[in-house]
Chains A and B, each alone.
Chain A
Amino acid sequence: MGEFKVHRVRFFDYMPTAIRAMAFNSRTERLALARADGALEIFNFADNYFQEKVIPGQDGRAVEALCWVGQRLFSAGLNGEITEYDLENLRPRYTVEAYGGPIWTISSNSQGTLLAVGCEDGTVKMFEILEERIQFQRNLDRQKGRIISLSWHPSGTLIAAGMMDMIRIFDAETGRATHRLLVERGVGASKSKEVVVWSIVFLSDHTIVSGDSAGKVQIWDGVTGTLVRTQLVTKWDVLALSVSNDESSLVAGTSEGTVVQFQFISSTVGQQDKEWVRTRTFKNHSHDVRALAHTETAVVSGGMDTQLVVRPLLDKVEKNTQESALRKMTLPHRSLVCCAKKAGLLLFQFPDHLELWRLGESDGHGKPGDSLPVKRKPEKLIQLKRKGEDHICCSALSPCGGWLAYSTVTSFRLYRLQNNNISITKVSKLPKDLRSAHQLCFSPDSSKLFASSSHSSVIVVALNQPECKYLHTLKPKSGESEQPVHLLFASEDGKWLATANTDCEIHVYNLDKLKLHCTVPVYSSCPTAIAIHPTTSNLVAVHADQQIFEFSLVQKEYTEWSRKLQKQGLHSLWLERDTPITHVAFNPQNPAHIILHDTFMFCIIDQSLPLPEAKTPFYNQMTLRSLPEPQRIIHSHAFKICKNFQHLMCVSLLEDHSLVVVERPLLNIMSQLPAPVRQKKFAT
């Protein structure tokens, strides 16, 4: 592997935000997730749970609920607005005021024609879903308390609404409230507090299931309006409910962090009469579970501990396979750290500000594994707060450390850094085409800035001090995909620019001629990291399903090594990793090296060494070190993996050949989370 001096960086105070709501679209197999700061994320469950798209949040957009209507995504929040999102341009398409005060819940009927929202003022408002917008239709009978949760009956004729101390059933056509189901309050001290029906589900056989703040899951007969069963699930609140499409399984999320499953089965084998029986309990969260989704094969949960957990159900998938493994998504699937290789600077992207740090220095020498004495400590040079309400979407730092740029959904800002990176001046005259970008990238010689724009196009801007001039817009062939570009890479020699979009397309442009050079054959999985080798001009692409491809830009075909890798296949332990590779880099000292990393390891692929066979021990670095030199050569294989540093946010190589490893230990994140419930355990 070679010896590297490692800058171990742990001063990136990245804090993920709590998950507030989620909605699963079973047709497209996409999960939409809303976070407490208003950010929206789309995960592709069919592509190894890759976080495909991220729409940055906005101050005040306190999203409380999400709803899919076909391919369209709607959200509603405490700011009283319903927002429809443009998933191709990664921004809100429009917002509509509901004029009912804060909105607590949103739900559409199964026909996809009407959208119902539950408001603070006690009204359920109906909106017609039209082609380009939604239009207010009418209010249902106004109630005397806030509407916290809603559920449509699959026929679209009835709506069940969870409120304070009661559940109301409305006739969707007349708007009249037909039934009132009274929910019992908690016992003891909580008798004086109103019970909040946090979540409600209306099943096709007219059964209503409700989860409330007294910790009960109650089953009601929606026809007669009577209580069928009560199950006390937790001492705290039941915050979320979700039912499977075939209505045979239901899950409830609690404040304790548990997810309780109920199944509609007969209690004795062979008997016909089925009922809702509590079956499994999953404890995969340390804090409140506020959002749940029940897919065909798994239970997806998320809450205040910010982690997205997918728990496949063992009666739907085969046991002990890759499919049945528990998945936890903690860190984002894209890089929030930009490293200026020549200047030794790091740029950290937060939703509301950027931080520029200079790396520390050390003179010392030591053995592998030693901590070297620090001559000069790392220092924070600049903290740049964003302007406006929209959160930062993307940012970039030029390799020389002289330029800094960031973009939100509505604005773009470019800054010039001078005086050894201490002073910062805004470039005021920007080309008018440059309004906002999904991804930003500086050219290695810091002379150009590339900004990805709508319809997979890239705007090229020349950086001449002190201003910048529009040069060109690079476009893929016309009529092709409209999906946004999520990866950009400019080659060292300044000749090539590679882009990848969420439609799995990788385009390579020739920067000398400023036109499209070639398109890499489309692979079925979305690329998660791309890079161009500085000397061989080979494009390396890693995908969400952990496949690696190497494509020669000069010959416009896959390289020999790539074909060999595909023929042999990747090792099973490599393919079983559950976090994507987010960064690919190269070693100037050794052109055969490819440096990759995911959340839990970083790996140096040595193309000159043989590929590991299926039966070879994969993680063999420790054993190799103990072997004598000649034996080491026999047992080495191409994938050298290091797991010393976790959780990795970025691994990069500086010009002076030292490695920069940016870690964010999970413990640091956990210690800053809000208060969990106090559980009294025996002997503590």
Chain B
Amino acid sequence: MAKKQRGKSASSSKTADIKQQTDHFSLMLESSDDEAPEEVTFEDSKAEALRSMKQALDTARREKEQLKEKRRKRQELFQEQKKRKLLPADVLEEIDSKEEKEEERQTGTCPEVCKLPFSTPERESASFQQQAAEDFLQSRMYGPGSCRTTSNELLSLQNKTGRNKSAAVQFCFNPEHCELCPNNTRT
């Protein structure tokens, strides 16, 4: 029932405050609905407000930093890709101009003439592209969604559904004693 008066001096210690707040809290449990709402002290609400503002500022700052980091990383990636892409384009331009000049003098040794000055950096990017193309093929044929099984399972199924049913291949497969599948007939 004892209510804290408004404007109580700020010099009161924190612990006394807290103790009083807990007292308040326990008192609140006992109070009925008819009573007027609790009054919160000025200090409390000021502290609360300051805390929440600080938190908001912190989160905003952190988010900004994260976005900045992301942007920086993306920019780096683009730079790298641009560097990789630029090289063959350079080479292409040079070759276009070279071809126009050397059309009459081209002989059966054409590939050597074209290849010689541009061997090293061009070869590296070419093998990178070749690897990327092979990866594309691999992912389309054997990547996720390709719905594949193992050769072992295929052979086991053949054993199971063939005319002479036998065990799954992994159980009887031994390179030394391997026998031909009984239904492996030539047409």
Question: Which residues of chain B from 97 to 119 have any CB-CB distance to chain A below 8 Å in the complex?
Answer: 99, 106, 108, 110-111, 114-115
Is the CB of B129 closer than 8 A to any CB of chain A? Answer: yes
B130 close to A62 (CB less than 8 A): yes
A671 close to B134 (CB less than 8 A): no
* Residue among A102, A136, A213, A681 with max Cβ neighbours from chain B (10 Å): A102
A62 close to B134 (CB less than 8 A): yes
Residue of B at shortest CB range from A673?
B151
A10 close to B115 (CB less than 8 A): no
Is the CB of B184 closer than 8 A to any CB of chain A? Answer: yes
Is the CB of B56 closer than 8 A to any CB of chain A? Answer: no
Chain A residues lying within 8 Å of B167, measured Cβ to Cβ, are: none
Is the CB of A436 closer than 8 A to any CB of chain B? Answer: no
Is the CB of B155 closer than 8 A to any CB of chain A? Answer: yes
Is the CB of B154 closer than 8 A to any CB of chain A? Answer: yes
Task: State A216–B131 Cα separation when bound (angstroms).
Answer: 28
Residue of A at shortest CB range from B134?
A78
Is the CB of B187 closer than 8 A to any CB of chain A? Answer: yes
B187 close to A326 (CB less than 8 A): yes
Chain B residues lying within 8 Å of A213, measured Cβ to Cβ, are: 140
Residue of B at shortest CB range from A646?
B180
Chain A contact residues, majority secondary structure:
loop
Q: Number of contact residues on A: which range applies?
A: 35 or more
B186 close to A328 (CB less than 8 A): yes
Chain A residues lying within 8 Å of B154, measured Cβ to Cβ, are: 286, 676
A80 close to B126 (CB less than 8 A): yes
Q: Which of B99, B149, B186 contacts A136 (CB 8 A)?
A: B99
Number of chain B residues close to chain A: CB under 8 A: 46
Q: Which of B129, B130, B147 contacts A236 (CB 8 A)?
A: B147
A135 close to B110 (CB less than 8 A): yes
Task: State A348–B88 Cα separation when bound (angstroms).
Answer: 43
Q: Which of A78, A99, A237, A666 contacts B184 (CB 8 A)?
A: A666
Chain A residues lying within 8 Å of B99, measured Cβ to Cβ, are: 136
Is the CB of B25 closer than 8 A to any CB of chain A? Answer: no
Is the CB of B160 closer than 8 A to any CB of chain A? Answer: yes
B152 close to A671 (CB less than 8 A): yes
A120 close to B133 (CB less than 8 A): yes
Is the CB of B161 closer than 8 A to any CB of chain A? Answer: yes
Q: Given A78-B134, A286-B154, A677-B149, A102–B184 Cβ distance below 8 Å? A: no
Q: Which of A78, A132, A328, A667 contacts B181 (CB 8 A)?
A: A667
Shortest distance between the CB of B155 and any CB in chain A (Å): 6
* Residue among B148, B153, B161 with max Cβ neighbours from chain A (10 Å): B148
A665 close to B178 (CB less than 8 A): yes
A102 close to B133 (CB less than 8 A): yes
Q: Given A255-B141, A600-B186, A668-B178, A60–B91 Cβ distance below 8 Å? A: no
B133 close to A97 (CB less than 8 A): no
Chain A residues lying within 8 Å of B77, measured Cβ to Cβ, are: none
Shortest distance between the CB of B93 and any CB in chain A (Å): 11
Is the CB of A684 closer than 8 A to any CB of chain B? Answer: yes
Question: Which residues of chain A from 97 to 154 have any CB-CB distance to chain B below 8 Å in the complex?
Answer: 97, 99, 101-102, 104, 120, 132-133, 135-136
Q: Given A60-B130, A135-B106, A10–B149 Cβ distance below 8 Å? A: no
Task: State A120–B178 Cα separation when bound (angstroms).
Answer: 45
Is the CB of A553 closer than 8 A to any CB of chain B? Answer: no
Shortest distance between the CB of A468 and any CB in chain B (Å): 32
Task: State A328–B185 Cα separation when bound (angstroms).
Answer: 12
B184 close to A672 (CB less than 8 A): no
Shortest distance between the CB of B128 and any CB in chain A (Å): 10
Shortest distance between the CB of B104 and any CB in chain A (Å): 12
Is the CB of A674 closer than 8 A to any CB of chain B? Answer: yes
Of the listed stretches B3-11, B15-23, B68-76, B168-176, chain A binds B168-176
A237 close to B141 (CB less than 8 A): yes
Is the CB of A574 closer than 8 A to any CB of chain B? Answer: no
Chain A residues lying within 8 Å of B148, measured Cβ to Cβ, are: 675-678
Question: Which residues of chain A from 632 to 679 have any CB-CB distance to chain B below 8 Å in the complex?
Answer: 646, 665-668, 670-678
B151 close to A670 (CB less than 8 A): yes
Chain B residues lying within 8 Å of A681, measured Cβ to Cβ, are: 157, 161
Task: State A634–B186 Cα separation when bound (angstroms).
Answer: 32
Chain B residues lying within 8 Å of A60, measured Cβ to Cβ, are: 127, 130
Please give the residue numbers on chain A whose beta carbons come within 8 Å of chain B beta carbons, in ascending order.
10-11, 60, 62, 78-80, 94-97, 99, 101-102, 104, 120, 132-133, 135-136, 189-190, 193, 196, 213, 235-237, 255, 286, 288, 325-326, 328, 600, 646, 665-668, 670-678, 681, 684
A-B contact sample (14 more), CB < 8 A, given A136-B99, A237-B140, A671-B152: A10-B176, A79-B127, A80-B129, A80-B130, A94-B108, A101-B88, A101-B129, A120-B133, A255-B141, A600-B186, A671-B155, A675-B142, A675-B148, A681-B161
10 tightest CB-CB pairs across the interface, nearest first?
A: A678-B149, A102-B133, A675-B148, A101-B129, A78-B133, A78-B130, A673-B151, A132-B108, A326-B187, A676-B154
13 contacts between A and B (CB under 8 A): A10-B175, A78-B130, A97-B114, A102-B132, A132-B108, A236-B146, A237-B141, A665-B180, A667-B181, A671-B155, A671-B169, A676-B154, A677-B148
